[in-house]
A = this chain, B = another copy of it.
Amino acid sequence: MLSRRYLPSMPSLLALEAVERLGSASAAAEELNLTQSAISRQLQVLEGQLGLGLIIRDKHRLRLTPAAQDYCREIRRALQALNQASLTLRANPNGGTLNLAILPAFGMHWLAPRLARFAAQHPEVTVNLSTRLQPFDFAISHFDAAIHYGRQDWSGVDYLPLMAEDLLAVSSAGLLKTPLASADDILSYPLLQLESRTGDWGRWLAHHGTPNQRPPAMLFDQFATMTQGAIHGLGVALLPLFLIERELTENRLTPVFGPAIPSLGSYYLVWPKDAVPRAPLASFRNWIAAERDA
């Protein structure tokens, strides 16, 4: 329950926030279209209400105490959330919102091209996308659903399988002087891999008859940067086929050895098992299942 007693007023919080950011009451006043006098008073009001000093008034300069700076960090985040929520509501007065955590590569290549159709089909839902590289706890985040790659190893969620994945070993055209005679010749080139998928090269080698290897490789946190690395000749990368179709047709990447092999994990839409049902999520789930089967 929220007690009204300890919630400062909006103007006083805005004043503090702006003063912290801009460094002076005058500048804050200008930004907020107020007078310097108003800011000065609001700061006093806030100090009075919280019952402590927030500002060190030193030679007619304002400086926040360390505690006030911490406080400011928190309230800025909260104010931005309020602002964002209000703007979203104005932009979309009839529908709901769907907060979706995506994986950057999947979001860019699979979801983004299709999402316009969802928007057309469900104009009442605004989709907010935010990238997350790792699974997270739904209970302490504000997401309705997430895109997950891997196996069904996220606890407390339900899964909708979206897509399997094939991995192809590729490099820039110039990297290999001569074609590889066998798969394990690849070990003489620098290998690139994703932090979150360090087993992939081992699986690729096993698939080509060289088991129990776990070759060293350069680490990237996202496919986008790894793809760029490969294009620029940094080494050989094992990349999902659906991400690099353009790079292959435009010869910026070329296959190195063998065909694409099926990836160990798949892409899923996941959402918390215990969430209260919400229309936007249900619409999205139905839509994405249909897209998958299209």
Interface residues of A (CB under 8 A from B): 1-4, 6-11, 13-14, 17-18, 31-33, 50-53, 65-71, 73-75, 77-90, 92-97, 130, 132-137, 140, 142, 153, 155, 195, 212, 219, 221, 279-280
Contacts and interface: CB of A to CB of B under 8 A. Distances in A.
Contacts of A74: 81-82, 84-85, 88, 142
For the complex, would chain A's binding face be called helix, strand, loop or mixed by DSSP majority? helix
B31 A89 contact: no
A97 to B, nearest CB: 5
A197 to B, nearest CB: 12
Q: How many copies does the complex hold?
A: 2
B82 A75 contact: yes
Nearest to A94: B67
A57 to B, nearest CB: 16
11 contacts: A1-B31, A2-B14, A2-B83, A4-B33, A8-B10, A10-B10, A13-B82, A66-B279, A67-B95, A78-B81, A155-B221
Given A82-B78, A95-B66, A142-B74, A90 B6 contact: yes
- Nearest 5 CB-CB pairings of A with B: A74-B85, A78-B81, A52-B93, A78-B78, A78-B82
B6 A50 contact: no
Given A50-B89, A67-B95, A89-B71, A79 B136 contact: no
